[in-house]
Amino acid sequence: MGGCNRQLLVWHRRAGKDDINLRMHAVGAFNRVGTYWHMLPEYAQARKAIWDAMNPHSGKRRIDEAFPPEIRASTRDNDMFIRFVNGSTWQVVGSDNYDSLVGTPPVGLTASEWAIANPAAWGYLAPILAENGGWASFITTPRGNNHVKAMLDRFKADPKWFTQVLSAADTGAIGPEAIEEQRGEYEALFGKEMADMLVEQEFFCSFAGALIGSYWGADLDRAEKSGRVGKVDIVPGLDVHTAWDLGAPANNPIWCFQIVGNVPHIVDFYRPTSEDLEEWCDWLTERGYKGRDYVPHDIFHQSWGAKRTRVQMMQDYGRKPVPVKKVSVGDGITAGRETIKIARFDAERCKDGLDGLRSYRREWDDDFKRFRDSPVKDWAEHIGSAFRYLGLAWREMRLPPPKPEQKFDFIGQPDGSMKSGLTFAEIIKRKQRARMAED
């Protein structure tokens, strides 16, 4: 890795990123005995993408080319696990369950398709690799202006990192004819505008545009360009409300917001790492976030392993849970989009949440070549769901527009009717002046 133990490779589609990293693992495993992981965004996709993937040129499995039988001691197909003859191990894992993996932590890690992976996985694994002196390689094509672009901007001048962006024009691995053929396929599926954006993204490593299928990526781009993503101060004296999603015990993101002049200010974001509801409530209370807590209807279910409902537990911990009106997912997504169009976001405190909103996307049906109505069930789904509830909640909290003051000045009309011209207060003042004149 060029003398570094961290690298970020932003290479075009079909540039051989995974193949090169598989061979890096083979070399690394014999340079240092240890555990090595090849990590995909979702464990469910790992078998198809890596373990069973074939090299179309040779007809062989990619892992068999990278790890020939001579260097293996054993192979477990069910676990996608290989033990080498020197005692090192290599395994395919998912960033969606990184914190549930047991055993020896890795000394070498490849994070494949990093642009659509859960960035929190690196927050969990970075201290481990820092402690044991291990290496990490992030490989991806761009998927909009998300955490990969932020990493590239931050580390491209850092001598501890090797970063590289390679487009098809740089490598020549895919010729213009093949790219234009792919453009035609994209156009048939998504239309010309989307096709051009996909070609720029997939083959020329452009970070412009939103993640394909993203519900709100384009809206967030416009919010950034209009200056509504930046530093947002918490206004003293105004309640900070929260919007929750309630999934698995440790997957319950919470958005924190104020309503300032009928504009939602998204001031903070919290994603618990424990299963302790009291700890989450303490985190909010310690920061003075004591407004209403907007939650989905399953708040009335019994809590995780407890006999009390979640709403009872939240109330016991001093919170004020309010169930959000139950609507369809589509209506909630619309409410979220309309909220993003006017909201202000604190870029630093809400960074992880904003990454999730950009990655919240529709599921692609490869058989029918169209997007499904349902969101992808990945790390970003609960973040997007919580924001749907925020979008529904704050609209009900808006102050009604002030009513125009009613006019009561009655002026006689030719037909005998009376027409209003003065306000009620003006009429009172006029009557008071008239009485004073009489006295």
Reading the block at residue 388, the tokens are: 């749907």
Looking from the CA of 153 toward its CB, the CA atoms found within 13 Å total 7
Report the 10 Å Cβ neighbour count for 52.
13
The segment(s) of the chain belonging to CATH 3.40.50.300 are 6-166
Query: Does the domain made of 224-397 have the CATH classification 3.30.420.280?
Result: yes
Calculate the alpha carbon distances from 151 to 1, 154, 161, 280 in Å: 17, 5, 10, 29
Calculate the alpha carbon distances from 62 to 21, 25, 56, 57 in Å: 11, 13, 10, 11
Per residue in 391-434, pLDDT (tens digit) is 999 988 765 555 655 544 455 555 555 455 556 566 666 666 76
Quickly state the pLDDT bin for 197 (edges 50, 70, 90).
Answer: confident
The segment(s) of the chain belonging to CATH 3.30.420.280 are 224-397
Between 374 and 334, residue with greater pLDDT: 334
- CA 225, CA 209: separation in Å to the nearest integer? 12
Lowest pLDDT segment from 188-197, 206-215, 230-239: 206-215
- CA 198, CA 212: separation in Å to the nearest integer? 8
- Percentage, residues of the chain above pLDDT 90: 64
What pTM was estimated for this model as a whole? 0.75
Q: Give the range with max mean pLDDT: 98-107, 127-136, 211-220, 413-422.
A: 127-136
- CA 111, CA 41: separation in Å to the nearest integer? 8
H, E, C per residue of 16-64: CHHHHHHHHHHHHHHHCCCEEEEEECCHHHHHHHHHCCECCCCCCEHHH
- CA 208, CA 203: separation in Å to the nearest integer? 13
Q: 183 with 171: CB under 8 angstroms? A: no
Q: At the fourth CATH level, which superfamily is domain 6-166?
A: P-loop containing nucleotide triphosphate hydrolases (3.40.50.300)
pLDDT score recorded for residue 251 = 73
Q: Is the model's pLDDT at 29 over the cut of 70?
A: yes
